[in-house]
Amino acid sequence: MSANTLPAILQNGNLLDGYKQLLDSLSRAYWEAGDMASKDRIYGAQQAVSELITALDQDDVALLTQQYIAMKPQIDATNAALAKIREDVNQITKNIGTASMLAAGITKVLGMFA
């Protein structure tokens, strides 16, 4: 991959937008979580997603490509945590709208890696 070519997943900006939308959903789910353990899980995911957004929000193609390659293990770990939250979303919040929005956001982001 040349320094002038972004990885395919970053070329249209959908990944960054997906993580930003997901961060909003995680914030809502945090306040609606029924117990501290769920709040802790959501908070950890929020922090991880926020770090990814910061790193991936670059205009410089070469720097963005380097950031993405360097952060790929962190991205994979964050996505695994998000997948687990999606599995448990009905235990995290009883608000059907929030659960649906969170699950859809996670599915959207994870689908970009399929």
Cβ atoms of 38 and 30 within 8 Å: the answer is no
Please state, in angstroms and rounded to a whole number, the distance separating the CA atoms of residues 38 and 44. Answer: 10
pLDDT digits (tens, 9 = 90+) for 25-63: 999 999 999 899 999 999 999 999 999 999 888 777 788
Please state, in angstroms and rounded to a whole number, the distance separating the CA atoms of residues 38 and 51. Answer: 20
Cβ atoms of 68 and 15 within 8 Å: the answer is no
**Is a pLDDT exceeding 90 seen at residue 77?**
yes
What pLDDT shows up at residue 4? 56
Segment 58-78 shows an average pLDDT of: 88
